[in-house]
Amino acid sequence: MSSAKKLVNTYAKSLFQTVNQSKASPSENFDIAQLTSPETKKGFLPNIYILGEELSLLRSTIVSSENLKDFFKNPTYPESLKLEFLVSLFPGTSLLLKSFLKVLTERSHLSLLPEIYDEYNRFLLAFQKSTQVKIITPSILQESYGVSLLKTLKSLTSSTEVTLNLSYNPKLLGGLILEYNSSSIDASILKEFSLFFNEV
């Protein structure tokens, strides 16, 4: 694991554990007033889902355009300016996330926010016993195959919930490719042909 990946993992894990270990009750966590004004209640700590949504908004903002990506990655712009931009764009951000953003600012790591969200989301999915599976097929998946595939994937990933992300690649000729939890299973005809021709 590279040092940048370790750093991202450490940030995401510490943030997830801090929120997950909070003693806020579910009714406090899902109070609609807290979503629009989190600091109105003293000591409010968002739950793991609210924090995940906040991080998702920040990530979407940063990766929404090449100019913004460049702005956050460019070391010539002061980190305080980047923080000011995010806080002015999302003034209702929870106090915990604002504190986290200040830590990232002090360490010049605000550009890591998209990767931190991705890692945080991975912890969230594991907590929910949920898995995101990317499926690449050469054609549209028939509903009957999809239902049986979903049952198999729940068993394979030991998850109670599986989210499918489908994409199509006609070059596969047949079969499919599965990607989940940094694993990949290539059961395509294209791979079989490649192996066959390599042996010949």
Rg (CA), the chain: 21
Report the alpha-carbon distance of residue 31 to residue 45 in Å, rounded: 12
Higher pLDDT, 96 or 23: 96
Report the alpha-carbon distance of residue 113 to residue 52 in Å, rounded: 12
Give Cα 174 to chain centroid, integer Å: 30
Instruction: Give the confidence band of 32 by pLDDT, cuts at 50, 70, 90.
Output: very low
Domain boundaries, the chain: 3-124, 130-199
Using one digit for the tens of pLDDT, what is the confidence trace for 120-143?
988 887 777 777 788 888 888 777
pLDDT (0 to 100) of residue 117: 92
Using one digit for the tens of pLDDT, what is the confidence trace for 49-64?
888 899 999 999 999 9
Q: Which CATH number fits domain 3-124: 3.30.200, 3.30.1380, 1.10.3470, 1.10.520?
A: 1.10.520
H or E, element range at 147: helix 143-157
3-state class (DSSP) for residue 70 = helix
Would the pTM count as exceeding 0.85?
A: no
Going from the C-alpha of 122 to that of each of 13, 62, 87, 132, the distances in angstroms are: 10, 19, 25, 9
3-state class (DSSP) for residue 15 = helix
